[in-house]
């Protein structure tokens, strides 16, 4: 898989090329704004209950090479393609995953109850086996090296990925005035790097299961042209 970031003006698109025999999954199919290849090379499927819970999506697209397609990047978001090694231990917030290579193994990792209650995020996803991961974030992603003894404090809404072996604790820091005026932060220790986005997400792309009733979402995804007819 070859990914060209910033294929559109101001970086608002990413071009992806799949060789023969390659395949990729897109978790936000509506972001596919152009496609070149056989019509049958795109297969959309309705996920089962477990898939919806894990991926926070109702539908995902499987695209098979040889093919080329363009992913639109919404205003205010940035796209980044990452090559993950086979032994990657990073745990991702699945809401920011737009694209991943077929053959990657997805494993669920449950958060502690106290953490999940505050973040409203019960699971993180581990992608192993090696491959390409395409991420959407609120601004360009940055990497920060963590230390086993000196903690790093990260706004809970800005943490996209962290090593599975890292230790996370919910906290605030600073003097009383500072701690009263800030969002909850993760106190992170360990080794490796964390991925951060510079601002918290807005409702919409990063929160695809919020807003509508369950019945309306099922109808929109299951019926032909449901996304157009049912508002």
Q: Using one digit for the tens of pLDDT, what is the confidence trace for 47-78? A: 755 656 566 666 889 999 999 999 998 888 88
Structure confidence at residue 48 (pLDDT) = 59
Superfamily the domain 2-222 falls into: Mitochondrial biogenesis AIM24 (3.60.160.10)
**Which residue, 13, 18, 66, is CA-closest to 40?**
66
Structure confidence at residue 95 (pLDDT) = 85
Which residues fall within 8 angstroms of residue 157, CB to CB, at 6 or more apart? 183, 200, 201
Q: In what order do the strands lie in the sheet with 67-72?
A: 2-5, 13-18, 67-72, 32-36
Q: What is the mean pLDDT of each run of 10 residues along the chain (231 residues)?
A: 71 88 92 93 78 66 94 88 92 90 88 70 85 91 94 92 91 87 90 91 50 50 52 49
The model's pTM? 0.77
Structure confidence at residue 12 (pLDDT) = 79
Structure confidence at residue 15 (pLDDT) = 93
Structure confidence at residue 180 (pLDDT) = 84
**Which residue, 2, 8, 65, 50, is CA-closest to 31?**
8
Alpha-carbon gap, residue 61 to 163, rounded angstroms: 28
Structure confidence at residue 154 (pLDDT) = 93
């Amino acid at each position: 898989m070859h990914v060209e970031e910033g294929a559109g003006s101001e970086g608002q698109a990413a071009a992806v090329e799949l060789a023969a025999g390659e395949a990729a999954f897109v978790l936000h199919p509506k972001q596919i704004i152009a496609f070149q290849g056989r019509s049958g090379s795109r297969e959309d499927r309705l996920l089962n209950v477990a898939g919806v819970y894990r991926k926070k999506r109702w539908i995902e697209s499987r695209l098979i090479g040889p093919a080329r397609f363009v992913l639109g990047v919404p205003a205010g978001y940035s796209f980044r393609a990452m090559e993950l090694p086979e032994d990657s231990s990073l745990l991702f917030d699945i809401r920011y995953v737009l694209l991943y290579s077929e053959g990657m193994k997805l494993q669920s990792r449950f958060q502690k109850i106290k953490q999940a209650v505050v973040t409203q995020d019960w699971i993180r996803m581990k992608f192993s086996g090696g491959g390409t991961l395409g991420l959407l974030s609120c601004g360009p992603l940055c990497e920060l090296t963590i230390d086993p003894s000196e903690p790093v404090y990260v706004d809970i809404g800005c943490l996209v990925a962290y090593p599975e072996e890292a230790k996370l604790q919910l906290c605030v820091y600073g003097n009383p005035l500072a701690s009263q005026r800030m969002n909850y932060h993760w106190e992170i220790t360990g080794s490796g790097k964390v991925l951060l986005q510079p601002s918290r997400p807005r409702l919409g792309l990063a929160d695809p299961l919020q807003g509508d009733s369950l019945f309306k979402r099922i109808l929109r995804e299951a019926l032909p042209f449901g996304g157009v007819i049912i508002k």
